[in-house]
Structure formats: C-alpha cells, structure tokens
C-alpha cells in the first residue's frame, strides 16, 4: 500500500503533518498532528483541505478518519459526520468520521 504524507513547514520546521491511504474510492486520513504552538493558526484546516484535494485528484470519492474525541469538533466543522460508536485506540477514545468529496 502506498501512503501520501503532507507536511506544513514554517521556517524550516515541520509544524503539521498527516497521512493519506487510498482504499479504492475511499481515502483514509491518519496521523494528523499540528504542533501545539501552531494550533490556532489554521494549519490543521489547511492540511485537511489539501488532503481532500489530493485524495480527490487520485480518484477518492470520500474520506474516512478515526477522530480523537478531543478533536471531534474540529472535524465536524470541516463537514465530517460521526459514524458508529466510540472506540479505544491506544488508550484514547476515538470515533470514526466520514465526508463525501465534491467531484
């Protein structure tokens, strides 16, 4: 399986990153992280928008992700919808979320 990684860089330092895995027409985003000092600057939103553009250009029709409950509101504001029950991933509660891409 091929992974695509996106990174946000400022002054030569990575301040945000995520991974995209394609499964047929579905892209799965994982390992989303933004440095604590950059979290109010819109970096996460920009990464997610770039991920949607990248996934769509590669044939994806939707994106899924496992959102930490603490980030649920962030993804909800970006148009992701909750799917299923809360589950544990590495000791942290998560929920699956999905968004259809505009084709």
For residue range 28-48, list pLDDT tens digits in order.
Answer: 999 999 999 999 999 999 999
Please tell me the total count of domains within the chain.
1
Range of the domain at 19: 3-100
Confidence (pTM): 0.92
CATH number at residue 48: 3.40.630.30
- The answer to whether 8 touches 43, Cβ cutoff 8 Å, is yes
Identify the band that residue 102 occupies on the pLDDT scale cut at 50, 70 and 90: confident
Q: Is the pLDDT of residue 103 over 80?
A: no
Angle at 87 between CA 70 and CA 26, to 5 degrees: 85
């Amino acid at each position: 399986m091929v992974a695509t990684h996106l990174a946000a860089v400022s002054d030569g330092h990575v301040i945000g990153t995520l991974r995209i895995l394609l499964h047929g027409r579905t892209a799965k985003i994982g390992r989303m992280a933004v440095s604590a000092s950059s979290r109010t600057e819109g970096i996460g939103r920009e990464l997610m928008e770039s991920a949607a553009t990248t996934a769509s250009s590669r044939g994806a029709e939707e994106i899924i992700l496992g959102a930490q409950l603490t980030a649920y509101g962030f993804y909800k504001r970006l148009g992701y919808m909750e799917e299923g029950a809360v589950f544990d991933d590495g000791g942290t509660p998560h929920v699956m979320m999905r968004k259809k891409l505009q084709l």
